Amino acid sequence: MTTLDRDVVIIGAGPSGLTAAYELRKAGKTVAVLEARDRVGGRTWSQNMDGATIEIGGQWISPDQTGLYSLIEELGIETFERYKEGKSVYIAEDGTRTVYEGEDFPVGEATIAEMNKLIAEMDRLTAEVNPDAPWEHPQAAELDMVSFHHWLRTISNDEAACNNIGLFIAGGMLTKPAHTFSALQALLMSSSAGSFSNLVDEDFILDRRMVGTMQGVSIAVAKRLGEDVYLNNPVLKLDWSEEGVTAYGAGVTVNAKKVVIAVPPNLYSRISYNPPLPRRQHVTHQHQSMGLVIKVHAVYSTPFWREEGLSGTCFGPNSIVQEVYDNTYHGESTGTLVGFISDVNADAMFELSEAERKETILKGIAEFLGDKALTPEVFYLSDFGSEEWTRGAYATSYDLGGLFRFGPDQNKNVGPIYFSSSDLAGEGYQHVDGAVRMGRRTAARIVAAVDGTDYDVNYDGVVSKFAAAQEQNA
């Protein structure tokens, strides 16, 4: 067992923990990062399978994600655009397949009008919601009492419009059924992306990818931290007092002034705290749970859909595979599709045998793009739900009423213990951008606490869009 003395110990080498460590090092603090897995990157993870680059976890970046953009600029990492040329495919509730162009789903004028009404209402409210403090909105309490599913239906009685709009946040983002989270939680999701219109625009929200993959960002930061990153060191025990902490990894023990817990909130209780955390944290952490989505990759010898004038973008709010995109990696001649199977559809897939699951999913993709989709050269199903150090995907969110009740405390430190996660972020919530912003914020707060200086409110290096908009409106 190695024992180290450091200013700060960081638990978790995902993008948030690594960014925190990197910023702390830049500020002259000594750090050690203890990571449970045998790799860095957490929910970002890539592998090469039979010559195709597969991003198993997080991969896309949108233009508003300036926290992550500023980090990759510093690291010298380039991005490339997702393939977006050609027409999209939509499958309606009755199974009708339509090839279409433009932003609107091919659903009939009345439903389009209802969808636009819902989008306008979401945009109006989103502009009033501060992503860093959604609980401060004047109607926060009532918005957190009603499920997103029911709230949509108070505005529109067009079932197809409600389902289509619900999909963007339920299946598409929080990966929970829309009846399990509140309208306020949905508004946090849209305000984290600047507007609901941004969120429903796949060309915006799924704009670009990293050359060298999203996990490459964590690998590049870890390289700069060198020997201060300790893999295969799950921390299951933490002693703490106002004077400092001792974190016990599998082979490394670290005594430090402060600790950054940079694991997803659903895993906070994996660690045994001595003395126990205060009641407020015990209760709060039980109301944050992971969604569930399966991300499936199918690699073909060529991107055959492109030859047919299709972009590979497909939506089916009532289909097993609700979203499909062309996910061919930069410079590869093979064609890769990625499909997402969310929440209850994902549950259903795990009731099947492996062979049946593969067949059902490929049939789902073929309903959009034809029979050629049935026979990929590589098929890879990523299941973060079975990963001990994540337990779901993409991220955690609160249950009904939880965001208003517990949100105001989620970012408070408990003595020397600080929490940092994309799942606690405002801008970039549930995204790598939010992980980076939270890493910087946490580092800035710790530096101020250790040095007795003022906390830098521009912690994440970029101006808050919400604050800027408020100022302009004033």
C-alpha span between 144 and 140 (Å, rounded): 6
Residues 197-236 that bind ligand FAD (CB under 6 A): 234-235
* Residues ≥6 apart with Cβ < 8 Å to 307: none
- Binding window for ligand FAD (CB under 6 A); candidates: 57-65, 107-115, 155-163, 329-337: 57-65
Backbone angles phi and psi of 48, in degrees to 5: -100, 120
- Compute the least distance from the CB of residue 395 to ligand FAD, in Å: 5
Residues 18-47 that bind ligand FAD (CB under 6 A): 34-37, 42-44
* Residues ≥6 apart with Cβ < 8 Å to 455: 444, 445, 448
Q: Binding marks (x or -) toward ligand FAD, 413..432, rule CB under 6 A?
A: --------xx-------xxx
Residue 403 or residue 436: which is nearer to ligand FAD going by CB? 436
- Binding window for ligand FAD (CB under 6 A); candidates: 56-64, 151-159, 275-283, 348-356: 56-64
Cβ–Cβ < 8 Å for 250, 233 = yes
Interaction of residue 14 with ligand FAD, rule CB under 6 A: yes
Residue 92 or residue 170: which is nearer to ligand FAD going by CB? 170
Cβ–Cβ < 8 Å for 172, 342 = yes
- For the chain, the distance separating the N- and C-terminal CA atoms, rounded to the nearest angstrom, is 58
Determine which residue in the list 196, 305, 368, 384 makes contact with ligand FAD, applying CB under 6 A: 384
Identify which of 11, 9, 14, 75 has the alpha carbon closest to the alpha carbon of residue 431: 14
- Binding window for ligand FAD (CB under 6 A); candidates: 101-109, 144-152, 158-166, 387-395: 387-395
C-alpha span between 62 and 72 (Å, rounded): 13
Identify which of 408, 46, 13 has the alpha carbon closest to the alpha carbon of residue 215: 46
Residue nearest to ligand FAD (CB): 14
Amino acid occupying residue 205: I
Residues 229-268 that bind ligand FAD (CB under 6 A): 234-235, 262-264, 267
Identify which of 53, 42, 37, 44 has the alpha carbon closest to the alpha carbon of residue 380: 53
Interaction of residue 131 with ligand FAD, rule CB under 6 A: no
Backbone angles phi and psi of 109, in degrees to 5: -65, -40
Residue 150 or residue 255: which is nearer to ligand FAD going by CB? 255
Residue 245 or residue 435: which is nearer to ligand FAD going by CB? 435
Identify which of 438, 328, 402 has the alpha carbon closest to the alpha carbon of residue 174: 402
- Compute the least distance from the CB of residue 46 to ligand FAD, in Å: 11
Determine which residue in the list 368, 394, 406, 418 makes contact with ligand FAD, applying CB under 6 A: 394
Residue 82 or residue 149: which is nearer to ligand FAD going by CB? 82
Residue 151 or residue 181: which is nearer to ligand FAD going by CB? 181
Interaction of residue 17 with ligand FAD, rule CB under 6 A: yes
Per-position DSSP letters for 412-457, written without gaps between them:
--BTTEEE--GGG-STTTTSHHHHHHHHHHHHHHHHHHHHT----T
Interaction of residue 297 with ligand FAD, rule CB under 6 A: no
Residues that bind ligand FAD (CB under 6 A): 11-17, 34-37, 42-44, 57-60, 234-235, 262-264, 267, 270-271, 295, 382, 384, 389-390, 393-395, 421-422, 430-433, 435
